[in-house]
């Protein structure tokens, strides 16, 4: 079992649901979370909510190497790089697709969706040199979005 260290940092996506979760750590640990756009959800610019849902469903059935959109590749690289910059125990409050982007990279799994973390589940990563090692993938379950 991995213990949460109270002297660690808290980083959060700027999106409301992540900020609400991070706020609980802010209250408990009496420190502000750092808001980081790099751990925000995968971008789908110009799409309606319905279009985004269909786009995500199609995207999740693919492999990262099959995607030809530079915006997605850049988003994934940026998310991974943001975690590689972390040098201390840190809680990162993020989203389903970010977790998949990072876990798939860390495990060399080309599937866009390689895990199904439930909302509020904790996935634990460890930095090893210039790589990330998956220590534990959070509780799994079907996504309500996909």
pLDDT for the residue 81: 96
The CATH number of whichever domain residue 60 belongs to comes to 3.40.50.1240
Q: Please indicate, yes or no, if residue 99 is contained in any of the structural domains.
A: yes
Q: What confidence tens digit (pLDDT) does each residue in 96-120 have?
A: 999 999 999 999 999 999 999 988 8
Q: Please indicate, yes or no, if residue 41 is contained in any of the structural domains.
A: yes
pLDDT for the residue 1: 47
Q: Please indicate, yes or no, if residue 145 is contained in any of the structural domains.
A: no
pLDDT for the residue 112: 96
Q: Please indicate, yes or no, if residue 146 is contained in any of the structural domains.
A: no
pLDDT for the residue 16: 96
pLDDT for the residue 113: 94
Q: Report the domain count for the chain.
A: 1
Angstrom distance (rounded) from CA 105 to CA 123 = 14
- Predicted TM-score (pTM) above 0.75: yes
Q: Please indicate, yes or no, if residue 37 is contained in any of the structural domains.
A: yes
Q: Please indicate, yes or no, if residue 143 is contained in any of the structural domains.
A: no
Q: Please indicate, yes or no, if residue 2 is contained in any of the structural domains.
A: no
Residues 6+ apart with CB under 8 A from 48: none
Q: Please indicate, yes or no, if residue 112 is contained in any of the structural domains.
A: yes
Q: Which residues of the chain have pLDDT under 70?
A: 1-7, 143-146
Angstrom distance (rounded) from CA 38 to CA 76 = 9
Host domain of residue 94: 9-136
């Amino acid at each position: 079992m991995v213990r949460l260290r109270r002297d660690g940092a808290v980083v959060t996506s700027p999106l409301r649901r992540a900020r609400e979760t991070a706020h609980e750590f802010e209250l408990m640990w009496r420190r502000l979370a750092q808001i980081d756009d790099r751990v925000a959800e995968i971008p789908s610019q110009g799409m309606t909510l319905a279009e985004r849902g269909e786009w995500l469903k199609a995207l999740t059935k693919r492999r990262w190497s099959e995607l030809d959109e530079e915006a997605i590749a850049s988003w994934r690289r940026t998310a991974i790089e943001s975690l590689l910059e972390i040098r201390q125990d840190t809680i990162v409050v993020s989203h389903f697709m970010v977790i998949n982007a990072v876990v798939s990279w860390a495990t060399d799994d080309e599937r866009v969706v390689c895990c199904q973390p439930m909302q509020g589940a904790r996935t634990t990563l460890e930095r090893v040199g210039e790589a990330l090692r998956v220590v534990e993938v959070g509780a799994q379950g079907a996504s309500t979005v996909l």
